[in-house]
Amino acid sequence: MTTSRRLADRKTAKFQKNITRRGSVPETAVKKGKGNGYAAGPVVLGFFVFVVIGSSLFQIIRTATSGGMA
Protein backbone atom coordinates (compact mmCIF):
# COMPACT_ATOMS: atom_id res chain seq x y z
CA MET A 1 0.00 0.00 0.00
CA THR A 2 1.39 3.40 -0.87
CA THR A 3 1.74 6.20 1.63
CA SER A 4 -0.98 8.32 0.01
CA ARG A 5 -3.41 5.37 0.07
CA ARG A 6 -2.75 4.77 3.79
CA LEU A 7 -3.22 8.46 4.50
CA ALA A 8 -6.47 8.51 2.54
CA ASP A 9 -7.74 5.43 4.40
CA ARG A 10 -6.87 7.01 7.76
CA LYS A 11 -8.66 10.24 6.87
CA THR A 12 -11.70 8.32 5.62
CA ALA A 13 -11.89 6.29 8.83
CA LYS A 14 -11.63 9.44 10.94
CA PHE A 15 -14.37 11.10 8.89
CA GLN A 16 -16.66 8.07 9.18
CA LYS A 17 -16.17 7.96 12.96
CA ASN A 18 -17.09 11.62 13.15
CA ILE A 19 -20.24 11.00 11.11
CA THR A 20 -21.50 8.37 13.54
CA ARG A 21 -20.90 10.68 16.52
CA ARG A 22 -22.62 13.68 14.95
CA GLY A 23 -25.56 14.94 16.98
CA SER A 24 -24.67 13.11 20.18
CA VAL A 25 -23.63 16.12 22.24
CA PRO A 26 -23.51 15.61 25.99
CA GLU A 27 -26.11 17.46 28.05
CA THR A 28 -23.48 19.62 29.76
CA ALA A 29 -22.01 20.86 26.48
CA VAL A 30 -25.30 22.39 25.33
CA LYS A 31 -25.40 26.10 26.07
CA LYS A 32 -28.20 27.21 28.30
CA GLY A 33 -29.90 30.35 27.02
CA LYS A 34 -31.08 33.23 29.13
CA GLY A 35 -34.62 32.15 28.44
CA ASN A 36 -35.77 35.34 26.73
CA GLY A 37 -35.73 33.82 23.25
CA TYR A 38 -34.35 36.95 21.53
CA ALA A 39 -31.47 36.60 19.11
CA ALA A 40 -30.38 40.22 19.58
CA GLY A 41 -30.12 42.17 22.80
CA PRO A 42 -32.00 45.38 23.55
CA VAL A 43 -28.93 47.51 22.82
CA VAL A 44 -28.61 46.08 19.32
CA LEU A 45 -32.32 46.53 18.68
CA GLY A 46 -32.18 50.12 19.97
CA PHE A 47 -29.24 50.90 17.71
CA PHE A 48 -31.06 49.39 14.74
CA VAL A 49 -34.20 51.47 15.42
CA PHE A 50 -32.04 54.59 15.85
CA VAL A 51 -30.32 54.03 12.51
CA VAL A 52 -33.53 53.26 10.61
CA ILE A 53 -35.56 56.15 12.04
CA GLY A 54 -32.61 58.56 11.84
CA SER A 55 -31.93 57.75 8.20
CA SER A 56 -35.63 58.09 7.39
CA LEU A 57 -35.78 61.53 9.03
CA PHE A 58 -32.60 62.60 7.26
CA GLN A 59 -34.06 61.52 3.91
CA ILE A 60 -37.31 63.39 4.57
CA ILE A 61 -35.46 66.57 5.51
CA ARG A 62 -33.17 66.30 2.50
CA THR A 63 -36.12 65.77 0.16
CA ALA A 64 -38.04 68.71 1.70
CA THR A 65 -35.10 71.10 1.38
CA SER A 66 -34.37 70.13 -2.23
CA GLY A 67 -37.92 70.96 -3.30
CA GLY A 68 -39.03 67.38 -3.83
CA MET A 69 -36.93 66.87 -6.96
CA ALA A 70 -34.24 64.23 -6.79
Per-residue confidence (pLDDT) for residue 66, from 0 to 100:
87
**Strand, helix or coil for residue 27:** helix
Neighbour tally for 25: CB within 10 Å: 9
pTM for this predicted structure: 0.40
- pLDDT computed for residue 27 by the predictor: 66
Chain segment 22-61, per-residue pLDDT in tens:
666 666 655 665 555 677 888 999 999 999 999 999 999 9
**pLDDT greater than 80 at residue 63:** yes
What Rg value do the Cα atoms of the chain yield, rounded? 28
